[in-house]
Structure 1
């Protein structure tokens, strides 16, 4: 049987999502706000009308129209996906042949590399600066030397929280002969976008997700690009990739733009408070807090693994990386005021033992 397995995947390690039994879950960049409780009656009503004996709308016409209004993009330039993860896979499947190169930053979202490898690509990683900033001119030179089919860049960056200025993004797009995928998963927290540029460049693709605004369980993502690229991408999209329940609830949520904006404002207020408290704690022991345009905060501390285990024992789950550029880093998702208080009390206790 082993002779039937792909030899190029013999050493491949799949992405393993952590099973979490902690009281306070701050490891996955989810929203702490239960948006379905805010719109519970409306959600129940739309679910009741779904004909579950019928296939879902293959293109998500209603959802694309609503998201187009929400995002400012033409609905004809939008594709829906089963999370942005599926859309990353679809992009690779569209443009990448076995042996082709793709480029991602290091560190950046791990799924770019995973799907690249699964599609037979040679995945090249460009190291961010020591402070996790990007030297755009050197990066452009790297891309032009390697000549990849696709370049992936998350803005803001996951897991660092860092940003790339719009001018630098446009410089990248115009300077390379590659498909450039700008992943705006954390757009709602950052506020800046290149979605208004999709018709100005023939190699630009934008990804968005519903997971960070409180819909992580739905698995819903969006791809926005120009008509020519979208026509190619539709060639490999599965016909019924987003189920009817996700489409209807997604459309309902995005129709309630004010609810989303109010929730984002609340998360950003909690983030500001958490940053101030972490900064105060960092004065007791030397750890670094990186600037963040997202709903999470990355800290670097020499005792990262020890702190991670301590927090887990205290019932608080955060993201510990433990290797590579992020060896001594912990990523903390912004929680509600009670969750952040429990986290800070646990960190304070940990520092008290030092």
Structure 2
């Protein structure tokens, strides 16, 4: 075939709505201690690692995965106290959110989120032509319930996303306020519990009491980010409808095999969650003593803090020391805030030593 003269600009083939969206991007600053992505710093316990290695070795790489991931869904159902038909699996929670939006949103409909919160809610809703409306959180990062209810009345959102504990603030929204949102919502309420294993309680199968509720969970924050496994729990009729937008074989066989071992031996991970919570409190106390870092209470595996010095100077100083944290420099409300993941005791000590060296 001869080379075709360009008569169409490839960029013009992209839908205007998509062209207007910025791609998700995180600057890949080189470092020795990565405390910016809310990953677990711990490898699986040895006895779990041994089972994982055996499970991986038994995977038939020449065969397609189980399209229903039935064994894994059964294991999750047993862990969560729900039915397998109420569970939908995704290649990370991002894919579950994308399936939810694909199944429910029409162009021009509204999605409501508190602000600040996880950026992918807005990003993914935008793919489907939805408008995202924000309800700013209060100064202590609690839910502004009155504002939420007003926006629900004015905009009739098709989906409300509530991450609790919230990212990037680390705060847990009050149970009574979340229940009030659910009771008044004209559409879906998605309760995202990605960080719930570092909090003191969970909403659990809330959808059993309110069929317009979806509960999201993930393995990414508890030591298995590489698996890319998230899941939703919802009324079986809703899960069946959303499942129609899921691509076949979306959960690969290795992820299915490993995640099943993880879920079936969940109790083996709980001491690691306790270590993260203990280190979180130690870090928070140490940060308060600096006099120029103001950490907020957290129920997640990270701490959000206000920086009362020039953020660029502090961020650069940490990077020079080989420590990477998350700086929300492009956020109007968080431009003077950092989020730091709770690492191992050694990583946390390295971070705090770097902080002490900044003048």
TM-score range with shorter-chain normalisation? over 0.9
Aligned to 2:352: 344
> Which SS does the other structure have where 2:25 is aligned?
coil
> Which SS does the other structure have where 1:39 is aligned?
helix
Q: 1:36, CA displacement in angstroms?
A: 6.8
Counterpart of 2:314 (choices 307, 311, 334) is: 307
- 8 A Cα contact 1:106 1:325, kept in partner: no
Aligned to 1:186: 195
Cα distance in 1, alignment partners of residues 271 and 82 from structure 2: 22
Q: 1:91, CA displacement in angstroms?
A: 0.7
With 1-10 and 204-213 compared, the bigger mean Cα shift is at: 1-10
Counterpart of 1:327 (choices 316, 335, 339) is: 335
Q: 1:38, CA displacement in angstroms?
A: 5.3
Matched, 1:280 2:289: yes
Cα distance in 2, alignment partners of residues 178 and 192 from structure 1: 25
- 8 A Cα contact 2:67 2:249, kept in partner: yes
Q: 1:75, CA displacement in angstroms?
A: 2.2
> Which SS does the other structure have where 1:50 is aligned?
coil
Q: 1:108, CA displacement in angstroms?
A: 0.2
Unaligned runs of 5+ in 1: none
Q: 1:192, CA displacement in angstroms?
A: 2.0
- 8 A Cα contact 2:80 2:205, kept in partner: no
Aligned to 1:266: 275
- 8 A Cα contact 2:45 2:269, kept in partner: no
CA RMSD across the alignment: 1.4
* Alignment TM-score, normalising by the size of structure 2: 0.93
Alignment of 1:144-293 (within 5 A): 144-282=153-291, 285=292, 287-293=293-299
Cα distance in 2, alignment partners of residues 320 and 334 from structure 1: 15
- 8 A Cα contact 1:305 1:328, kept in partner: no
1:309-341: CA deviation from partner (whole Å, max 9, x where unpaired): 110111000000012211111000001111111
- 8 A Cα contact 2:206 2:215, kept in partner: no
- 8 A Cα contact 1:32 1:214, kept in partner: yes
Matched, 1:316 2:314: no
Q: Report the count of equivalent residues.
A: 348
Q: 1:40, CA displacement in angstroms?
A: 2.7
Matched, 1:297 2:303: yes
With 190-199 and 210-219 compared, the bigger mean Cα shift is at: 190-199
- 8 A Cα contact 2:276 2:342, kept in partner: yes
Q: 1:77, CA displacement in angstroms?
A: 1.1
- CA change 1:185–1:345 in 2 (3 A) is same
